[in-house]
Chains A and B, each alone.
Chain A
Amino acid sequence: MKISVQKEKIEVADTIESLRTPEAGAIVTFQGTVRRFSGDIEVTRLYYEAYREMAVKSIKQIADEAKERFGIIDYSIIHRIGNIDLTEDSVIVSVSSEHREEAFSACKFIIDRIKIETPIWKKDIAVTGEATWRD
C-alpha cells in the first residue's frame, strides 16, 4: 500500500514489481504522461503543485475505497510534482488483484477520482514561455 506525492521521477518497474505476490493473478498499471498538446497550446513541460498533506490523505481514502469496493490485494500510487518534461510520467496507479477484472476496475476508479478530488494542480508551460494554470 504505497502512496507518494513526490518531486523525484517515478521508478515504474519498481512500483509495479512491489505488487508481485503469490496471491495476485493480475497487476494493472495506469501511467499518466506529459503530452505535447494541451488543447491548442504546445507545451514544453507541465508544472504540478500539490497541497501535499491533503493530497496523500485524499489518495489514501480513494485507494482504500477501491480496495473495499473491488477487493484488490494491494496498490501503489505515485503522483509527481514540480516540473515534468514531455513524455515523462506525472502519475502512476498500479493495482494487484486475484483476477484481472477487479484490477482494471479499481485502477480506473482510482485515477478518475484522483483527477476530480485530489488537491493537485497543473500549469502548462508553453513553447512561447507562457505559463497558464489549468483550472
Chain B
Amino acid sequence: MKIQVRFFGSVKDDAGIEGLVLDIPQGSHFSDLKEILKKDKPSIWQGRRQIFFALNQNYINGDQELRENDEVAVFPMVSGGC
C-alpha cells in the first residue's frame, strides 16, 4: 500500500526533499514506517532532540495501523505564533 510522507521545517531541509511515497506491506504500523525512515533518511534524526509525527493531520497516537493513501508528516518542534 502507498503512504504519502511529508517533511516540514528544518526536517525538510535535513531530508533534502519535501516528501516521498513509500510502498509498504498491507497491515504495516506506524513503527514499521518509522524504521524505514530511520534507514532511508537518517539525517533527519541527527542532532535533533525531538521529532514529531502526524497521521492524516493529527498527532500520532501510539503505534497506529496505517492504511492505503494515509499521509504521515514528519516535523520538528513547532515554533509558530510570535
Binding site for B on A (CB under 8 A): 32-34, 48-51, 53-55, 57, 79, 90-91, 111, 114-122, 133-135
Contacts and interface: CB of A to CB of B under 8 A. Distances in A.
Contacts of A34: 82
A118 B80 CA distance: 7
Contacts of A55: 80
Given A51-B6, A53-B57, A133-B9, A119 B73 contact: yes
A70 B74 CA distance: 33
A34 B6 CA distance: 28
B9 A91 contact: no
21 contacts: A48-B80, A50-B80, A51-B57, A57-B58, A79-B81, A115-B78, A115-B80, A117-B78, A118-B81, A119-B8, A119-B54, A119-B73, A119-B75, A119-B78, A119-B80, A120-B78, A122-B80, A133-B10, A133-B13, A133-B76, A135-B76
Chain B interface size, under 10 / 10 to 19 / 20 to 34 / 35 or more: 10 to 19
B73 to A, nearest CB: 6
Contacts of B54: 51, 54, 119
